[in-house]
């Protein structure tokens, strides 16, 4: 494939990054090798001091991982992609790469739970402070900035309430204050949203979710320009939070069907969200593709569809919400998402159980809230499964 920038996303997802070995294999090869051999002592020396490009050791680079990185970089429109062992490893590597003791972070309050614990807990021990602000109120981001602010961090749409952060507006505030903006693009993937186009500096993925798409392996990625990511790469190659060749191979195959899957997840989710709005025992539906979503206009400008995550509230609090879950016969009762199989979660007693009731109330996570990560089953079958407990 030439470097033609005009290839569309579907094509890049199938073709970008492919590098064939001497055997001319058609499907990308999995290079299960921890190290690589050199032709001579001189070549070894040149590789180690960076005078000659090439693989040395799979903690640094591996050909299968490189193919995955190049393919995802092409999809996000990024100069560089660094694959990591998990989504959290990507977030850790980003923080370790761009921050130092004494720096300050402004982050959305509606982040993935482990991201909140990393920023608000672990990094605090190393002298990095984080101020958590509203995902949607841009003025709060500006007000939280300090002279030592180096990083803005957000996730859009948020989990589980699908709030939309205005990437371009928040990027402008970050830029004005000399801070970098990192966007966790896990829920949309580059098929639906490309944050770099809206002014973000760094894109982060949990590839575990939609990029795999079938719930098999863990992985992550950090994307941006080479200069911004230099420290991230140095951290990774030293600390070893690297993606395995096997997982990279699974993700390469996942990327090939990503466009088809994201379109299908989105179509199913929209149909399910519309149906939920007609159910008498459903009091509210949260989905960016619905006219009832308070930020539908922003969502339309920023992402191609509403995505695959739908949340809704039922009449009757926790008891009624649990009743819906316990009457399902097909849906998977699990907190995972981005799978071909539809999953159902009660956030208040699972993903957000460690928050205090006051924190949950502030975040809008009520006891009657359920989250569905809509899979690829027939939507009528998903509806029938939910209808059993909705009464």
Ligand X SMILES: *Cc1c(COP(=O)(O)O)cnc(C)c1O
- Binding range to ligand X, per CB under 6 A, among 85-93, 297-305, 313-321, 343-351: 85-93
Alpha carbon of residue 209 to chain centroid: 7
189 to 308, 343, 359: CA distances (angstroms): 11, 19, 29
242 binds ligand X (CB under 6 A): no
At closest approach, how far in Å is the CB of 269 from ligand X?
16
CB of 22 to ligand X, least distance (A): 34
* Residue 223 binding ligand X, by CB under 6 A: no
Asked if residue 28 binds ligand X (CB under 6 A), the reply is: no
Q: Applying CB under 6 A, does 87 fall inside the site for ligand X?
A: yes
Note whether 186 binds ligand X by CB under 6 A: yes
* Binding window for ligand X (CB under 6 A); candidates: 82-90, 350-358, 361-369, 372-380: 82-90
Instruction: Check binding of 112 to ligand X (CB under 6 A).
Output: yes
Site residues (CB under 6 A) for ligand X, limited to 261-290: none
Q: What angle do CA 79, 298, 277 make, to 5 degrees?
A: 125
User: How far is 197 from 78, CA to CA, in rounded Å?
Assistant: 10
* CA dist 219 → 81, 95, 208 (Å): 13, 17, 5
Q: Quick one: which of 206, 268, 305, 351 contacts ligand X (CB under 6 A)?
A: 206
DSSP 352: T
Q: What is the nearest approach in angstroms of ligand X to the Cβ of residue 386? A: 22
Instruction: Rule CB under 6 A: say whether 88 interacts with ligand X.
Output: yes
Q: H helices of the chain, where?
A: 9-15, 41-48, 63-76, 87-98, 113-117, 123-125, 138-144, 167-176, 189-192, 226-239, 245-256, 258-277, 296-302, 317-326, 357-363, 379-390
Rounded to a whole number, what is the distance in angstroms from the first to the last CA of the chain? 55
Contacts of 16 (CB under 8 A, 6+ apart): 1, 7, 70, 71, 73, 74, 75
Measured CA to CA, the distance from residue 251 to residue 17 in angstroms comes to 12
Q: Is 220 in the site for ligand X (CB under 6 A)?
A: yes
* Nearest CB to ligand X, comparing residues 309 and 348: 309
Q: Is 218 in the site for ligand X (CB under 6 A)?
A: yes
Based on the shown chain and the rule CB under 6 A, indicate whether residue 328 belongs to the binding site for ligand X: no
Q: Exactly one of 209, 259, 346, 371 binds ligand X (CB under 6 A); which one?
A: 209
Q: Compute CA 19 distance to the chain's CA centroid, rounded to the nearest angstrom.
A: 26
Binding mask 122-161 for ligand X (x = CB under 6 A): ---------------------------------x---x--
Q: Which is nearer to ligand X, 83 or 386 (CB)?
A: 83
The verdict on 351 binding ligand X (CB under 6 A) reads: no
Please state, as a whole number, how many other Cβ atoms lie within 10 Å of the Cβ of residue 200.
25
Rounded CA separation 351/114 (Å): 10
Torsion sign across C-alpha atoms 197, 81, 306, 89: negative
Q: Which is nearer to ligand X, 102 or 121 (CB)?
A: 121
- 343 sits near ligand X (criterion: CB under 6 A): no
Measured from each CB, the residue nearest to ligand X is 87
* Footprint of ligand X (CB under 6 A): 86-88, 112, 114-115, 155, 159, 184, 186, 206, 208-209, 218, 220
């Amino acid at each position: 494939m030439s470097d033609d920038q005009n290839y569309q996303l579907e094509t890049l997802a199938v073709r970008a990054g492919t590098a064939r070995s001497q055997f001319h294999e058609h499907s990308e090869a999995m290079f299960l090798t921890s190290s690589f051999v050199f032709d001579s002592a001189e070549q070894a020396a040149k590789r180690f001091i960076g005078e000659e490009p090439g693989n040395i050791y799979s903690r640094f680079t591996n050909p299968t991982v490189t193919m995955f990185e190049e393919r995802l970089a092409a999809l996000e429109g990024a100069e560089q992609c660094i694959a990591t062992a998990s989504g959290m490893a990507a977030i850790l590597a980003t923080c370790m790469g761009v921050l130092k003791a004494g720096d300050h972070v402004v982050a959305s309050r509606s982040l993935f739970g482990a991201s909140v614990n990393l920023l608000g807990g672990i990094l605090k021990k190393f002298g990095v402070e984080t101020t958590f602000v509203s995902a949607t109120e841009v003025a709060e981001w500006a007000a939280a900035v300090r002279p030592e602010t180096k990083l803005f961090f957000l996730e859009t749409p948020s989990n589980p309430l699908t709030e939309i952060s205005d990437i371009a507006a928040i990027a402008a505030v970050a830029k004005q204050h000399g801070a970098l903006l990192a966007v966790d693009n896990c829920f949309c993937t580059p098929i639906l949203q490309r944050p770099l186009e809206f002014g973000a500096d760094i894109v982060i993925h949990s590839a575990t979710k939609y990029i795999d798409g079938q719930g098999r392996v863990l992985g992550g990625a950090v994307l941006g320009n080479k200069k911004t990511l230099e420290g991230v790469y140095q951290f990774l190659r030293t600390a070893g939070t690297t993606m395995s060749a096997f997982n990279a191979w699974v993700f390469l195959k996942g990327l090939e069907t990503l466009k088809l899957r994201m379109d299908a997840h989105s179509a199913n989710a929209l149909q399910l969200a519309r149906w939920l709005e007609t159910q008498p025992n459903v009091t509210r539906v949260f989905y960016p593709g619905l006219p009832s979503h308070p930020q539908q206009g922003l969502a339309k400008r920023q992402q191609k569809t509403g995505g695959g995550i739908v949340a809704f509230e039922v009449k009757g609090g926790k008891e009624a919400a649990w009743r819906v879950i316990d009457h399902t016969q097909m849906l998977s009762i699990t907190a995972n998402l981005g799978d071909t199989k539809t999953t159902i979660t009660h956030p208040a007693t699972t993903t957000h159980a460690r928050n205090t009731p006051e924190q949950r109330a502030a975040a809008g996570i009520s006891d009657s809230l359920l989250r569905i990560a809509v899979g690829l089953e027939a939507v009528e079958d998903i509806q029938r499964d939910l209808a059993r407990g909705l009464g």
